[in-house]
Amino acid sequence: MSASFQMDTKTVMYGVFGDPVAQSKSPIMLNRAFQVRGINAAYAAFHIKPGTLGDAVRGIRALGFRGVNVTIPHKLEVMNYLDEIDEHARRIGAVNTIVNDGGRLIGFNTDGIGYVRSLKEETGLTLRGCRVLMLGAGGAARGVGYALAREGAARIWIANRTVSKAEELAGYLREYTQADGIGLDGIGAIRQEVDLIVNNTSVGMSPNVDETPIDTSWFHPSLTVSDLIYNPMETKLLREARLAGAKTHGGLGMFIYQGAYAFEYWTGQPAPVREMREAVEAALR
């Protein structure tokens, strides 16, 4: 936010609810967006501890916040406290964006569409017909898998440490495309069929930057490798993919676009994506 910004009685309030939340780059990114668009608004981080999420959501209504982002670990539970949930968010089973429409709280999920938009813009990959290996079967994988399937991915394998969770996610995605759940040891059998690998696990995230979720010795130039992690901006998985000649896609774009879609839902204005990205990159340096 610029030094000249003054909050006043007309300032519209926004925030992010998470636990932990101190590391979040959302305030820097969204305050920059409001500033660029000349909107009198302020966005802060709120540390919402277990057992207090319902009170916090009622606070959105009581205090007249226009919007809130929801992050780990509240994206599922928050659905219990909203007045309406957008169909895509309901299908994904998680909400990361709340719009306060005159006291009526509506939940959206901008993670999946944010991911796909950044993947297409940054790699030029055609998702229709694409064959995807997703690593991990947690909350992030659900939104990403849903978005990839709806974009026309021909087949999705989900490989996870806990195979039952991979099978469960595959069962849910089968409504949209051909999907299979496998163990990490099953990757060898399918790896030659894959066009795109997406890491949805936390393996490789700072401070554990020397880890990769899978063996990378077989990577080749016709692969695209994508990692949801954005700290570090280039994970070991992506570095090894790049050295093998593969196309790579880091997690920063997904973070920027999930915030950009939230901004657009709240304000009705196009998000200043370039300035948002610059603000986050400066904060990560």
Detail the residues annotated as belonging to a binding site.
24-26, 71, 87, 96, 111, 136-140, 160-165, 228, 230, 251, 258
Spatial contact of 90 and 117, defined as CB atoms under 8 Å apart: no
In one-letter notation, the amino acid at residue 129 is G
Q: Going residue by residue from 181 to 210, which x/- string records binding to ligand ATR, judged by CB under 6 A?
A: -------------------xxxx-------
Q: Which is nearer to ligand ATR, 240 or 264 (CB)?
A: 240
Spatial contact of 117 and 257, defined as CB atoms under 8 Å apart: yes
Q: In terms of residues, how long is the chain?
A: 285
Tokens linked to 38: 């000349």
Q: Annotated binding site for shikimate, which residues?
A: 24-26, 71, 96, 111, 230, 258
162 binds ligand ATR (CB under 6 A): yes
Classify residue 26 by burial, with Cβ atoms within 10 Å: 0-12, 13-18, 19+: buried
Residue spans of beta strands (DSSP E) within 136-268: 155-160, 178-183, 196-199, 224-227, 247-249
Q: Which is nearer to ligand ATR, 31 or 201 (CB)?
A: 201
Catalytic annotation present for 236: no
Tokens linked to 146: 């849903």
Which residues make Cβ contacts (< 8 Å) with residue 215, sequence separation at least 6?
Answer: 187
Which residues make Cβ contacts (< 8 Å) with residue 102, sequence separation at least 6?
Answer: none
160 binds ligand ATR (CB under 6 A): yes
Binder of ligand ATR out of 21, 89, 95, 140 (CB under 6 A)? 140
- Contact set for ligand ATR, span 210-269 (CB under 6 A): 213
The stretch among 160-168, 175-183, 247-255, 269-277 that binds ligand ATR (CB under 6 A) is: 160-168
Size of the site for ligand ATR (CB under 6 A): 16
Given the residues 49, 75, 236, 247, select the one marked as catalytic.
Answer: 75
In the complex, minimum distance from the CB of residue 138 to ligand ATR, in angstroms, rounded to a whole number: 2
Q: Which is nearer to ligand ATR, 65 or 255 (CB)?
A: 255
The stretch among 21-29, 135-143, 149-157, 271-279 that binds ligand ATR (CB under 6 A) is: 135-143
Rg of the Cα trace of the chain?
19
Q: Which is nearer to ligand ATR, 16 or 279 (CB)?
A: 16
Tokens linked to 243: 């050295």
In the complex, minimum distance from the CB of residue 159 to ligand ATR, in angstroms, rounded to a whole number: 9
Binder of ligand ATR out of 137, 144, 182, 197 (CB under 6 A)? 137
Sign of CA dihedral 46, 48, 49, 52: positive
Which residues make Cβ contacts (< 8 Å) with residue 233, sequence separation at least 6?
Answer: 250, 252, 281, 284
Spatial contact of 111 and 133, defined as CB atoms under 8 Å apart: no
Q: Which is nearer to ligand ATR, 135 or 271 (CB)?
A: 135
Q: Annotated binding site for NADP(+), which residues?
A: 87, 136-140, 160-165, 228, 251
Q: Which is nearer to ligand ATR, 204 or 272 (CB)?
A: 204
61 binds ligand ATR (CB under 6 A): no
User: Which H helix or E strand runs over 146?
Assistant: helix 139-150
**Which among 256, 258, 261, 262 has a CA at the least distance from the CA of 276?**
256
Active site residues: 75
The residues that touch ligand ATR, with contacts defined as CB under 6 A, are 72, 136-141, 160-162, 165, 200-203, 213
